[in-house]
Chains A and B, each alone.
Chain A
Amino acid sequence: MAIVCEKDQLQEQHLLKIKEICNTFNKDHSELINILHGCQGYFGYLPAEVQEAIALEIDMPVSKVFGVVTFYSFFTMKPKGEFPISVCTGTACYVRGADKLVDEFQRELGIDVGQTTEDGKFSISTLRCVGACGLAPVVMVGDKTYGHVSPKMVKKILKEYKTK
Chain B
Amino acid sequence: MSKINQHILTCGGTGCRASESKELAQNLRDEIASNPAIEGSVKVVECGCFGFCEKGPIVKMLPDNTFYTQVKPTNAKEIIEEHIVKGRKIENLLYTDPVTKEVIDESKNMGFYKKQHRIALRNCGFVDPENIGEYIAREGYEALGRAIFEQEPQVIIDTIKASGLRGRGGGGFPTGLKWEFTKNAKGDQKYVVCNADEGDPGAFMDRSILEGDPHSIIEAMAICAYAIGANEGLVYIRAEYPLAIDRLKIAIKQAEETGLLGDNILGSDFSFKITIKYGAGAFVCGEETALIQSMEGLRGEPNLKPPFPAESGYFQKPTNVNNVETLANIPVILNKGADWYASMGTEKSKGTKVFALAGKINNVGLIEVPMGTTLREVIFDIGGGIKDGKKFKAVQTGGPSGGCLTEEHLDTPIDFDNLLAIGSMMGSGGMVVLDEDDCMVSMAQFYLEFTVEESCGKCAPCRIGNKRLHETLEKITQGKGVMEDLHQLRNMSEVIKETSLCGLGQTSPNPVLSTLDNFWDEYVEHVEDKKCVAGQCKSMLRYVITEEDCVGCTACVRVCPTNAITGTKKKPHIINQDLCIKCGACMDKCSFDSILLIA
Listed in ascending order, the chain A residues whose CB lies under 8 Å from chain B are 28-34, 36-37, 67-68, 71-75, 89-92, 94-96, 100, 103, 107, 127-136, 138, 145-147, 151-152
Chain B interface (Cβ within 8 Å of chain A)?
A: 14-15, 17-19, 53-54, 56, 198-204, 207-208, 239-241, 277-283, 294-300, 315, 356, 358-360, 364-365, 396, 399, 430, 432, 434, 438, 443, 446-447, 450, 453, 456, 561, 583-585, 588
Say yes or no: B364 contacts A133, CB within 8 Å.
Answer: yes
Report Cα–Cα, A53/B75, bound state, in Å: 53
Do B365 and A129 touch across chains, with their CB atoms under 8 A apart? no
Minimum CB–CB distance from B475 to chain A (whole Å) comes to 18
Q: Is the CB of B430 within 8 A of A91?
A: yes
Q: Give me 13 other A-B pairs in contact (C-beta within 8 A), A103-B584, A132-B14 excluded.
A: A30-B315, A33-B278, A34-B297, A71-B299, A72-B281, A92-B201, A96-B359, A103-B583, A128-B199, A129-B199, A136-B358, A145-B18, A152-B588
Q: Is the CB of B356 within 8 A of A73?
A: no
Most B Cβ at <10 Å: residue of A31, A129, A136: A129
Q: Are B297 and A33 in contact (CB under 8 A)?
A: yes
A130: chain B residues at CB < 8 Å are 14, 240
Would A107 and B585 count as touching, CB distance under 8 A? Answer: yes
User: Which residues from A are CB-within-8-Å of B200?
Assistant: 129
Expressed in whole angstroms, the Cα–Cα distance for A89 and B450 within the complex equals: 10
Q: Can you name the residue of chain A whose Cβ is closest to the Cβ of B360? A: A95
Q: Closest A-chain residue to B276, C-beta based?
A: A34
Which A residues touch B208, using CB under 8 A? 131
Question: In the complex, what distance in Å separates the CA atom of A100 from the CA atom of B442?
Answer: 14
Question: Do A132 and B202 have beta carbons less than 8 Å apart?
Answer: no
Taking the closest CB of chain B, its distance from the CB of A45, in whole angstroms, is: 14
> What is the chain A residue whose CB lies nearest that of B17?
A145
Nearest B residue (CB) for A128: B201
Q: A131 and B14: CB pair below 8 A? A: yes
Interfacial chain B residues near A151, Cβ < 8 Å:
584, 588
Query: Would B281 and A73 count as touching, CB distance under 8 A?
Result: yes
What is the bound-complex CA distance between A132 and B198, given in angstroms? 13
Question: Among the listed A33, A36, A128, A135, which residue makes an inter-chain contact with B15, where contact means beta carbons less than 8 Å apart?
Answer: A135
Q: Is the CB of B19 within 8 A of A91?
A: no
| With known contacts A72-B280, A74-B281, A145-B18, A133–B239 Cβ distance under 8 A | no
| A95, B432: Cβ atoms closer than 8 Å | yes
17 contacts between A and B (CB under 8 A): A33-B279, A33-B294, A34-B277, A37-B239, A74-B279, A92-B201, A92-B202, A94-B201, A107-B585, A128-B201, A130-B240, A131-B14, A132-B15, A133-B358, A134-B53, A134-B54, A134-B358
Interface centre among A33, A67, A68, A96 (most CB of B within 10 A): A33
Nearest B residue (CB) for A86: B240
Bound together, the chains give a CA A28 to CA B358 distance in angstroms of 41
Which of B15, B198, B240, B399 lies in contact with A74, CB distance below 8 A? B240
Residues of B contacting A74 in the complex (Cβ-Cβ under 8 angstroms): 239-240, 279-281
C-alpha spacing A28/B15, complex, angstroms: 36
A33 to B358, CA, bound (A): 32
- On whether the beta carbons of A68 and B298 are closer than 8 Å, the reply is yes
